[in-house]
Structure 1
Amino acid sequence: MRATLYTIIALIAFAANSLLCRMALAEGYIDPWNFTVIRLLSAAICLSIIMVVYTYNLKSKGDFNQADNSDILKDKGSWISSVSLLIYALCFSVAYVQLDTGTGALILFSAVQLTMIGWGIYKKERLSILQWAAFIVAVVGFVYLMLPSAALPSPISALLMAVSGIAWGIYSIRGKACISPLRATGFNFIRSLIAIPILLLVGISNIKNISIEGILLACASGAIASGLGYSIWYRAMPLLKSTQAAVVQLCVPVIAAFAGMLFLSEQLTMQFIIASVVILGAVLVFILNKKAFKEPI
Structure 2
Amino acid sequence: MESISRRQLGGLALVAVTAVAPVVWGSTYAVTHLWLPPDRPLFAGAMRALPVGLLMLAWHRRLPRGDWWWRSVVLGALTMGLFFGLLYVAAVRLPSGLGATLTAVGPLVTMALAWLFLRERAAVATLAASVVGALGVVLLVLQNGAQGSVDVIGVLASVGAVTSASAGFVLTKRWSADEDVIVVTSWQLVAGGLLLAPVALLVEGAPPQLPLSGWLALAYLGLVGSGVAYVAWYRGLASMSAGSVAVVGLLNPVVGVLLGVALLGEPFGPVHAVGMALVLGSVVLAQPQTRRLLASAHSVVLTTGSADAGGGGRTREVRTRHTVEACPSTTSP
**Residue deviations 1:194-250, cap 9 Å, x none?**
33234213221x645x43254443342223201221122111111111111222212
Alpha carbons 1:260, 1:266 under 8 Å: kept: yes
Pair 1:43-2:52 in alignment: yes
Pair 1:34-2:34 in alignment: no
Look at both structures and tell me which one has the larger radius of gyration over its CA atoms: 2
- Greater RCO, 1 or 2 (C-alpha within 8 Å, sep 6+): 1
TM-score by length of 2: 0.70
Q: Partner amino acid for 1:184?
A: V
Alpha carbons 1:51, 1:186 under 8 Å: kept: no
- Report the counterpart of residue 266 of structure 1 in structure 2: 266
1:218-237 aligned at under 5 Å gives the runs 218-237=218-237
- Report the counterpart of residue 298 of structure 2 in structure 1: none
**Residue deviations 1:96-126, cap 9 Å, x none?**
344333222112232x223201123334434
- Report the counterpart of residue 295 of structure 1 in structure 2: none
What is the Cα deviation at residue 31 of structure 1? 1.7
Question: C-alpha distance in 2, partners of 1:218/1:155?
Answer: 32
1:68-217 aligned at under 5 Å gives the runs 78-84=72-78, 85-110=80-105, 112-122=106-116, 123-148=118-143, 149-151=145-147, 152-176=149-173, 177-178=175-176, 179-195=179-195, 196-204=197-205, 207=207, 210-212=209-211, 213-217=213-217
Q: Partner amino acid for 1:197?
A: P
Percent of aligned pairs with the same amino acid: 20
CA pair 104-23 structure 1, distance change in 2 beyond 3 A:
farther
Q: Partner amino acid for 2:60?
A: M
Q: Is the deviation greater in 237-246 or in 119-128? A: 119-128
Alpha carbons 2:132, 2:278 under 8 Å: kept: yes
5+ long unaligned stretches in structure 2: 1-9, 294-333
**Residue deviations 1:10-45, cap 9 Å, x none?**
1212212343344456xx455223223322333324
What secondary structure sits across from 1:78 in the alignment? helix
**Residue deviations 1:262-284, cap 9 Å, x none?**
33233332122111112211321
What is the Cα deviation at residue 49 of structure 1? 4.5
CA pair 129-169 structure 1, distance change in 2 beyond 3 A:
closer
CA pair 4-146 structure 1, distance change in 2 beyond 3 A:
same
Alpha carbons 1:81, 1:171 under 8 Å: kept: yes
Question: C-alpha distance in 2, partners of 1:159/1:218?
Answer: 29
Question: C-alpha distance in 2, partners of 1:41/1:78?
Answer: 13
- Report the counterpart of residue 317 of structure 2 in structure 1: none
Question: C-alpha distance in 2, partners of 1:193/1:282?
Answer: 33
Q: Partner amino acid for 2:210?
A: S
